[in-house]
Amino acid sequence: MKVVPTIGMETHVELNTDSKMFCSCRVEYSSDPNKNLCPTCLGLPGALPVPNKKAIEMITLLSLSLGCNITEKGMFHRKNYFYPDLPKNYQISQFDFPVGTDGVLQIFSEDQLSDVEIERVHMEEDTGKSIHSGGRIDSAEYTWLDYNRSGVPLVEIVTKPVISNAKEAVAYIEELRQLVIDIGISHGKLELGNLRFDANISVAKEDQEELGIKVEIKNMNSLKSLERAINYEIDRQTSLISDDKLVIQETRHWDEKVEKTISMRTKEGSEDYRYFSDPDIPNMNLDKSFVNRVKESLSELPKDRRNRYVNLGLSLEESNHIVKSEEWVRTLFEDLLENTPNIRSSYLWSTGELLGQMRKFDVDYKPDHLNGENLGELITLVEEKKISASVGKEILSKLIQEDLSPSEYATSNALIQESNEDQIEELVLNVLDSNPEMIERIRSGEDKLISFLVGEVMKASSSSLNPGIIKEIIVNKTK
């Protein structure tokens, strides 16, 4: 039966401020538990929160880059619930006056661009970390708590329920991740928990007007698990409604090992967070002058960069690929644009060949000496057919290991090949004259002889020749 899945994403982004959201403790990934604490982030009695200006600037910057409206009178709310990793047993968050509302994020999915509407962007604080031993209540096990992460600034971004499949959801996260990296507010490393996401999924019969029952899926730690989890859940819900069964509104965990979403033990009663405005924090005033000041630091967004590359000649997919690459790749690519004649070759060499060779040589980071100038020089040599592509790749492997000038290297190693067509034509004609019977045989279909002749032409020359051009001329002459 035909169903229409609807997905909404909730994403938490850890901001890379120096200090925490409501206190001056260091934000640091430390293996020493409970190292960076103070009365405020440890939830000691008598402690008070003081909001971090940089965090507010960052969330405003993010909201602006998503085209959101900025709420002038921002308010912090207390979200009340008990959990050991939440020191005050309430989280300072935002409820009905979030910093940003009604934005949009352009994503690239399945070969096209589309817009994902953003419902809200709000500020909150992170909790500490719990480590559970065992996992069964009935054995004498423990939970261990580390509050280093408690109080780290988090931005929550909630989309409207407008995503229609798993691939789109993944593309959304990829785009959001790139955005927060590009505007400089987060390191965006999924494996470190800089970006965490939950999905809200429902399915409805094709002709149904209202959305189906919404199920929240948590515990997806990678883009792969996001995709798998969404697909699993869509299937699960589809089977249920095909059998005319009800989908229960609940929260489910994605279990990576068994590749299923599992219903969480429902606590007695649903959560009542009893939101109320935090009396320890007066209203924020995000007035026009503040917003304008933040706007000034808005630089090129991923979607604008993607458009720019398309206008310069790359395909959408290629542009997207560069936009989503690591920063050094993008910087190198931008440098190459100034140093080579052809955007596509810049793209192919920087994303394909270079990365491939680095992997082959087990080089994790771009060598310092390698830059747009020397790599650009190399690419230009190939583009101008002064060296063949395979020679180019050889020189690149040298360039990865040591600082050199590709043109000097090529010259001193006699790798520059003649590409002057007139000169090559002369040599071809000479060889053809010496091998007249070959011309007849090639005309009657013995294409293998072309390679033989190419070899003969190359032998006949003291300098390196462009084999492609030789072949072209031979083919022309033997028609």
Partner 1 sequence: MPKDFDIQAIAKLALIELNSEEESKLSEDLGIILEHVDALSTLSIDDSDMTIHPLGIELELREDTVQDGLDHKESMRNAPDEKDGFFQVPPSMD
Partner 2 sequence: MVDISNLTLKEAHEGLKNKSFTALELIEESFKVAANSESVLHAHLLLMQDEAVADAKETDKRISKGKMLGELDGIPISIKDNMNLKGYGTTCSSKILANYVSPYDATVISKLKEKGTVFIGKTNLDEFAMGSSTENSAYGPSKNPWDPDCVPGGSSGGSAAAVSVGTALGSLGSDTGGSIRQPASFCGVVGFKPTYGTVSRYGLIAFASSLDQIGPFAKTAEDTKIIYEAISGYDTRDSTSIKLNQRELPEGQSAKVGVLKELMGEGIADDVKSEVEKVIKLLEKEGHEITEVSLPMTKMAISIYYLIAPAECSANLARFDGVRYGLRVDGKTSYEMTEKTRAEGFGDEVKRRILLGTYALSAGYYDAYYGQALKARNQVINEFKNVFKKVDYLISPTTPSTAFKFGEKTSNPLEMYMSDLCTIPANLAGIPAISIPTGLDKQGMPYSVQLMSPELTDISLLNFSSYVEKLVDFQDTPTKWRKDP
Contacts of 108 (CB under 8 A, 6+ apart): 171, 175, 306, 316, 317, 320
Residue 145 touching partner 2 (CB under 8 A)? yes
Q: For residue 30, how many C-alpha atoms fall within 13 Å in the half-sphere facing its CB? A: 16
- Is 102:160 a contact under the CB 8 Å cutoff? no
Residue 287 touching partner 1 (CB under 8 A)? no
Placement of tokens 């419902």 in the chain: 119
Residue 18 touching partner 2 (CB under 8 A)? no
Q: Which stretch in 6-14, 137-145, 172-180, 312-320 sits in contact with partner 2 by CB under 8 A?
A: 137-145
- 147, 172, 254, 333: which one binds partner 1 (CB under 8 A): 147
- Is 318:309 a contact under the CB 8 Å cutoff? yes
Size (the chain), residues: 479
- 4, 145, 240, 389: which one binds partner 1 (CB under 8 A): 145
Residue 281 touching partner 1 (CB under 8 A)? yes
Q: What is the residue-wise DSSP string for 252-285?
A: EEEETTTTEEEEPPPPSS------EE-TTSPPEE
Residue 423 touching partner 1 (CB under 8 A)? no
Contacts of 298 (CB under 8 A, 6+ apart): 61, 64, 65, 183
- Shortest gap between Cβ of 255 and partner 2 (angstroms)? 22
Residue 135 touching partner 2 (CB under 8 A)? no
Residue 143 touching partner 2 (CB under 8 A)? yes
Q: Which stretch in 131-139, 195-203, 307-315, 335-343 sits in contact with partner 1 by CB under 8 A?
A: 131-139
Q: Which does 213 bind (CB under 5 to 8 A by kind): partner 2, partner 1, none?
A: none
Placement of tokens 């033989």 in the chain: 452
Residue 212 touching partner 2 (CB under 8 A)? no
Question: What CA–CA distance (Å, rounded) separates 330 from 336?
Answer: 10
- Shortest gap between Cβ of 42 and partner 2 (angstroms)? 6
Contacts of 409 (CB under 8 A, 6+ apart): 395, 398, 415
Question: What CA–CA distance (Å, rounded) separates 278 from 412?
Answer: 73
Residue 435 touching partner 1 (CB under 8 A)? no
- Shortest gap between Cβ of 250 and partner 1 (angstroms)? 14
Please give the biggest Cα pair distance in the chain.
100
Question: What CA–CA distance (Å, rounded) separates 313 from 370?
Answer: 25
- 33, 43, 67, 468: which one binds partner 2 (CB under 8 A): 43
By beta-carbon proximity to partner 1, the closer residue of 108 and 147 is 147
By beta-carbon proximity to partner 2, the closer residue of 95 and 290 is 95
- Is 55:153 a contact under the CB 8 Å cutoff? yes
Question: What CA–CA distance (Å, rounded) separates 148 from 165?
Answer: 36
By beta-carbon proximity to partner 1, the closer residue of 52 and 200 is 52
- Shortest gap between Cβ of 234 and partner 1 (angstroms)? 24
Residue 246 touching partner 2 (CB under 8 A)? no
Residue 257 touching partner 1 (CB under 8 A)? no
Question: What CA–CA distance (Å, rounded) separates 40 from 278?
Answer: 15
Q: Which does 268 bind (CB under 5 to 8 A by kind): partner 2, partner 1, none?
A: partner 1
Placement of tokens 């430390």 in the chain: 30
User: What is the SS3 assignment for 191-224?
Assistant: HHCCEEEEEEEEEEECCCCCCCCCEEEECCCCHH
Long-range contacts of 361-366 (CB under 8 A, 24+ apart): 361/397, 361/400, 361/401, 363/400, 365/328, 366/328, 366/329, 366/332
By beta-carbon proximity to partner 2, the closer residue of 40 and 380 is 40
By beta-carbon proximity to partner 2, the closer residue of 48 and 211 is 48
Question: Judged by CB under 8 A, how many residues of this single chain contact partner 2?
Answer: 31
By beta-carbon proximity to partner 1, the closer residue of 197 and 333 is 197
Question: What CA–CA distance (Å, rounded) separates 38 from 30?
Answer: 16
Residue 288 touching partner 1 (CB under 8 A)? no
Residue 44 touching partner 2 (CB under 8 A)? yes
Q: For residue 249, how many C-alpha atoms fall within 13 Å in the half-sphere facing its CB? A: 5
Residue 137 touching partner 1 (CB under 8 A)? yes
Q: Which stretch in 86-94, 236-244, 294-302, 457-465 sits in contact with partner 2 by CB under 8 A?
A: 86-94
Q: Which of residues 12-71 bind partner 1 (CB under 8 A)?
A: 17-19, 23-26, 32-39, 41-42, 50-56
- Shortest gap between Cβ of 51 and partner 2 (angstroms)? 7
Residue 299 touching partner 1 (CB under 8 A)? no
By beta-carbon proximity to partner 1, the closer residue of 80 and 342 is 80
Cα–Cα distances in angstroms (integers) from residue 236 to residues 5, 134, 242, 412, in the given order? 11, 29, 10, 66
Residue 32 touching partner 2 (CB under 8 A)? no
By beta-carbon proximity to partner 2, the closer residue of 42 and 240 is 42
* Binding-site ranges for partner 2 (CB under 8 A): 39, 42-51, 78, 80, 82, 84, 87-90, 137, 143, 145, 147, 272, 274, 276, 278-282
Q: Can you give the binding site for partner 1, defined by CB under 8 A?
A: 17-19, 23-26, 32-39, 41-42, 50-56, 82-85, 89, 130-135, 137, 141-147, 253, 264-265, 267-269, 272, 274, 277, 279, 281-285
